[in-house]
Amino acid sequence: MTPGGKRVVMVAAVARNGVIGDGPDIPWRLPGEQRLFKGLTWGHTLVMGRTTFESIGRPLPGRTTIVLTRSPDWTAEGVLVARDLEGALALADGLDGEVMVAGGGQVYAVALPVADEQVISEVDLEPAGDAFYPDFDRTEWVETSREHHDGYDRVTYSRRRAAEL
């Protein structure tokens, strides 16, 4: 959760081998998966790294975007900029909706310890790539839903509360 109590949700499409990207590209096309991403994140705050933002090329409509970058002079029209995850979460506390972490690999890795939920499109492929989703201890998470789609399953994991561990 954020300091102000907003839920932090990690949203990703992850291949069986952990790949989430290859350079600026996603190494697959899945019918309907981007529509599900849009539906899940609409009206919320997206947090993503600079490289992920630049691969998209613009702020996504219907969502506020916070871009994480260590570059002190980096700016882009229509987005907020934070230097670290803590700064991004503090910014998000004053914005609408939940916090949706949208990549890339480094951002997922630093967000995992504070995430309340993961919504993962588990892609039935093992492509080459250079960006990976972080490994996570599955005993700390419970699968709360699974939807089967052509070429992937959309799975929601919720963090177990301390009493459940």
Q: Which residue has the tokens 């291949």?
A: 15
Mean per-residue pLDDT, 142-164:
90
Q: Transcribe 38-101 into DSSP letters.
A: HHHHTTSEEEEEHHHHHHH-SPPTTSEEEEE-S-TT---TT-EEESSHHHHHHHHHTSSS-EEE
Q: How far apart are CA 78 and CA 149, in angstroms?
A: 33
Question: How is residue 148 written in tokens?
Answer: 């089967």
The answer as to whether 3 is a domain residue is no
For residue 134, what is the enclosing H or E element? none
Of 2-6, 37-41, 51-55, the least confident: 2-6
76-130 tens-digit pLDDT = 999 999 999 999 999 999 998 999 999 999 999 999 999 999 999 999 999 999 9
What does the pLDDT read at residue 24? 86
- 142 confidence band (pLDDT: 50, 70, 90): very high
Residue 157 reports pLDDT greater than 90:
yes
Contact (Cβ atoms closer than 8 angstroms) between residue 80 and residue 91 = yes
Residue 162 reports pLDDT greater than 70:
no
What does the pLDDT read at residue 163? 54
Question: How is residue 40 written in tokens?
Answer: 């899940």
Domain count, the chain: 1
Residues above pLDDT 70, as percent of the chain? 98
SS3 for 37?
helix
Contact (Cβ atoms closer than 8 angstroms) between residue 2 and residue 89 = yes
What does the pLDDT read at residue 146? 98
pTM: 0.94
26-48 tens-digit pLDDT = 999 998 999 999 999 999 999 99
Domain of 18, in residue numbers: 8-164
- 1 confidence band (pLDDT: 50, 70, 90): confident
The answer as to whether 52 is a domain residue is yes
Write the CATH number for 70.
Answer: 3.40.430.10
The answer as to whether 2 is a domain residue is no
What does the pLDDT read at residue 164? 57
The answer as to whether 88 is a domain residue is yes
The answer as to whether 99 is a domain residue is yes
